[in-house]
């Protein structure tokens, strides 16, 4: 079986905008479905070497759910590159300060680790509240359950 190669016109015609309400959604399950759509794996014209995915706007990122003891135990790890430069941030603190980053990190770590993955990730727009500046694109509501 040969790999399907979509034409540029097909790709542009198939791009859509979706809006997802993250209120009450479990973080990991929601992130995996978002990554699936950003890559375009839900489309018949999917090919692994092309960006055929859709745009996604996530609202109410501050109201996501974490299962189990993740709220107390999960941490985000950074290192500055200097000796002793380790910074660990608990997820509870990250949800208070920057709730959109929690969703972004979860999705970004599910995307391919290359230039194509970075370009696909740029199509994700995350907002802590219910307001977003993408009303002109007329995003369709996408129910993820």
Parallel, antiparallel, or unpaired: how do β-strands 75-79 and 86-90 relate? antiparallel
Successive 10-residue mean pLDDT values, the chain, 145 residues: 86 95 96 97 92 97 96 96 97 96 98 97 97 96 90
15-64+97-141 adopts what CATH topology? Answer: Ribosomal Protein L13p; Chain: A; (3.90.1180)
pTM for the whole structure: 0.93
In the three-class reduction of DSSP (H, G, I as helix; E, B as strand; rest coil), residue 96 is classed as helix
The predicted structure's pLDDT at residue 2: 82
Sketch the domain layout of the chain as residue ranges: 15-64+97-141
């Amino acid at each position: 079986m040969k790999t399907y190669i979509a034409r540029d016109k097909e790709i542009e015609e198939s791009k859509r905008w979706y809006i997802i309400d993250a209120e009450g959604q479990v973080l990991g399950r929601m992130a995996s479905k978002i990554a699936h759509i950003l890559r375009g794996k839900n489309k018949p014209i999917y090919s692994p070497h092309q960006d055929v995915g859709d745009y996604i706007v996530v609202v109410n990122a501050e109201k996501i759910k974490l299962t189990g003891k993740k709220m107390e135990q999960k941490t985000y790890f950074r290192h500055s590159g200097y000796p002793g430069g380790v910074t660990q941030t608990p997820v509870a603190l990250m949800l208070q300060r920057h709730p959109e980053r929690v969703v972004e990190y979860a999705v970004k770590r599910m995307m391919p680790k290359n230039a194509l993955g970075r370009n696909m990730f740029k199509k994700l727009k995350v907002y802590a509240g219910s307001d977003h500046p993408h009303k002109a694109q007329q995003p369709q509501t996408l129910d993820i359950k």
